[in-house]
């Protein structure tokens, strides 16, 4: 199991670094930062899922974040 997780992280990291280098070579710094951050989060979540770790639900934080905006839209 540890080998699967390590392989996943290594392959994902290599792919991310290669893609970020190509973005940086074409002077797309903001896109490279967003891509790197997104892939970093995805690699961490993917590794936790491969380890069969029980992850908390993301519904409540997103609901708390977007609910005031939705209520504002409904009032207008």
What domain range is 62 assigned to? 2-75
What pLDDT sits at residue 2?
A: 87
For residue 15, what pLDDT band results from cuts at 50, 70 and 90?
very high
The CA–CA distances, whole Å, from 30 to 34, 36, 45 equal 6, 10, 23
The encoded tokens of residue 53 equal 């770790």
Query: What's the pLDDT tens digit per position in 27-50?
Result: 999 999 999 999 999 999 999 999
Number of domains the chain is built from: 1
pTM of the prediction? 0.68
């Amino acid at each position: 199991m540890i080998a699967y997780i390590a392989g996943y992280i290594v392959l994902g990291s290599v792919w991310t670094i290669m893609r970020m280098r190509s973005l940086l070579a074409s002077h797309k710094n903001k896109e490279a930062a967003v891509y790197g951050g997104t892939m970093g989060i995805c690699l961490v979540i993917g590794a936790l899922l491969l380890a069969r770790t029980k992850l908390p639900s993301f519904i409540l934080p997103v609901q708390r974040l977007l609910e005031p905006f939705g209520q504002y839209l409904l009032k207008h």
